[in-house]
Amino acid sequence: MSKWHVLINKELKHLFRDTKTIVQTVVVPTFITPVLIGAIFWYISSIAQEETVKTYDIAYSGDISNQIYDEIEETDRFTIVPIDSLENLKISVQDDSSDIGIYIDDEFNLEQSINSTVKVMVFYKDLDTFSQAKDILMNIINDYEKDIISTRLNDLNIDENILDPIDLEEEDLTTDKEFAGTFIGALIAFLFIAYILQGSMYPAIEMGAGEKERGTMETLISTNISSVEIIIGKMFSITLSAVITAIFSTLGFILPLIIVFLYFGDSIPDTFFNIVSAIVNPLAILGIFSMLVPLSIFMGALMLAVSVYSKNPKEAGLLLGNLMIFFFAPAYLPLINPGLEIDLVGSLIPCFSLALHTNALISDNLDPFLFSVTIFSTIVYSLISIYVTYIMFDDEKVIFRT
C-alpha cells in the first residue's frame, strides 16, 4: 500500500469516527432534505389554497351608486371598509389596514352620457405573490367597462367586432420537462452545491488549520511522505467526503420521488407525473454527477489551500465562509432568473454552469459542446487549485504560520 493510501485511510478514519461528520454527510442530506423540501412545498401549497377562499378587506372611497360598488358588495371575496377621503384610503392600504383600496369619482355617470369618462383609482401593495385581491377587483372593473362599451356601441349601431380586428389565440408550448428543468433544476443544483460545500468544509478545516493547531502538521511534514502524497491523500479524503454528501443528498431528493413514481403514479396528475419522470431520468442524474465530481475536487482543493494558509480553525472558518459566497452567488442567479440560457462564457463559470446544465439535462435539451467545455474547464480549475495547495504545503512560512 502506497503512502498516500495510508494517509487517506488515516484521514477518513479520523473524519468518520466523529459523529458530526456522519450527521453532516449522511443524516442531514438523506433525511432532513426531503422533509425540508416537503415542508416547504406543503406550506406554499397551503398558502395558495387559503388564498382561493380568503376574504379581503377593500378600502372604498367615493361614489357608491354604481355597478362596480354593487359587484364588490355582492361578492363574498371582499369586505368593504368605507373611507371618507382619498388620502385616508391611501393610508389604509399603506399601513396594511386594508388589503387593497379603490377610489371612484363622485360624478359617476357613465350610463348617462355616451362620451363621459370617470376616474377609478386602485391602490395596492404588490408584495404578496399569492394574493388574489388585485385580480378579483380588476376583473370586476374590466367586466363593467366591457358592458359599458358594448352598450355604447349598440346605441351607435356599431358592430363590437370593429374593436377587435385581431382574433388572437395563445398556446403555451412549454413541455413538462422544460418546466421541471427551468424551475426545479436550478434548485437541485443549488442544493447540491450547498451539500458539497458542507461535506468538504469541515474536513478541509480539520486537515489543514486543525492539524496546524494540534501540532500534527509539522510532524506529518517532517516524515518521508512527500508534499504531493500528502496533498493526494488529503484531497481524496475531502473529495470523497463531498461526493458522499452529494450522493446521499441525491438519494434524499430522488428516493421520495421514485416512491411517488412507482406507488402513486396512477393517482397523480399527468403534469406532476411527467415532471417527476424528468427529474429521476438516469441520464440526467449521470450527467449531473459527471459535473459534480470535478467540481468537488475544485472546491475541496481550494478550501484545503485556504485552510492550510489559516493560522487556526477559527480563521479558516471565517475565510472559508467568505469563499462560499463566490460559489453560491453564481448558482443563485438561475434561481432568480428562470429561463437563462447558457453560452460559452457561462459554461466557463463554476456553479453557474452546473445550474444551467442541470436545467438542460432535465429539460432534455443539453448542448454537448458547452457541456464538454464545462467539464474540461472545471478539471483545469481543479488542477490549478491542487497546484496552489501544493505551493501552500511546500512553503514552510505558510505551514508554520501562527
pLDDT at 265: 60
Picking from 191, 190, 221, the residue whose alpha carbon sits closest to that of residue 208 is 221
DSSP H helices, 156-281, are 176-180, 186-205, 211-214, 216-222, 227-263, 270-279
Does residue 47 lie in a domain region?
A: no
101 and 227 share a domain?
Answer: no
207 and 87 share a domain?
Answer: no
128 and 28 share a domain?
Answer: no
Q: Name which of 5-9, 47-51, 142-146, 329-333 the model is least confident about.
A: 5-9
Grid coordinates of 173:
408550448
Phi, psi of 215 (to 5 degrees): 85, 10
Q: Give residue 182's Cα distance to chain centre.
A: 10
- 36-74 per-position pLDDT tens digit: 766 766 776 677 777 777 889 999 988 888 888 888 888
Does residue 23 carry a pLDDT above 90? no
pLDDT at 20: 67
236 and 380 share a domain?
Answer: yes
Point out the domain boundary residue: 105, 128, 161.
161
pLDDT at 145: 85
Higher pLDDT, residue 286 or 127: 286
Phi, psi of 16 (to 5 degrees): -85, 0
**Distance (Å, whole) CA 217 – CA 224:** 13
180 and 157 share a domain?
Answer: no
Distances from the Cα of 392 to the Cα of 12, 237, 301, 306, 313, angstroms: 22, 18, 11, 9, 16
393 and 308 share a domain?
Answer: yes
Grid coordinates of 264:
402513486
Residue type, 378: T
274-279 mean pLDDT: 72
Point out the domain boundary residue: 161, 188, 221.
161
157 and 196 share a domain?
Answer: no
pLDDT at 369: 94
156 and 189 share a domain?
Answer: no
Point out the domain boundary residue: 120, 138, 161.
161
Average pLDDT, the chain: 80
Picking from 388, 273, 118, 53, the residue whose alpha carbon sits closest to that of residue 398 is 388
DSSP assignment letter at 132: -
pTM metric for this prediction = 0.70
Task: For residue 84, give the CATH number of its domain.
Answer: 3.40.190
Does residue 91 lie in a domain region?
A: yes
Does residue 171 lie in a domain region?
A: no
- 240-256 per-position pLDDT tens digit: 777 777 777 777 777 77
What is the band of 381 on the pLDDT scale with cuts at 50, 70, 90?
Answer: very high
Q: Which domain holds residue 131?
A: 54-161
pLDDT at 12: 63
Grid coordinates of 163:
374593436
pLDDT at 226: 73
Phi, psi of 293 (to 5 degrees): -65, -55
Q: Are 10 and 4 in contact (CB under 8 A)?
A: no
pLDDT above 90 as % of the chain = 10
pLDDT at 17: 66
Does residue 336 lie in a domain region?
A: yes
Compute how many other C-beta atoms are within 10 angstroms of the C-beta atom of residue 84.
8
**Distance (Å, whole) CA 241 – CA 286:** 19
188 and 149 share a domain?
Answer: no
pLDDT at 315: 86
Q: Which of 73-87, 247-261, 319-333, 368-382 has the largest mean confidence?
A: 368-382
301 and 224 share a domain?
Answer: yes
275 and 322 share a domain?
Answer: yes
Does residue 348 carry a pLDDT above 90? yes
209-235 mean pLDDT: 74
Total structural domains in the chain?
Answer: 2
Does residue 236 carry a pLDDT above 60? yes
254 and 110 share a domain?
Answer: no
pLDDT at 402: 60
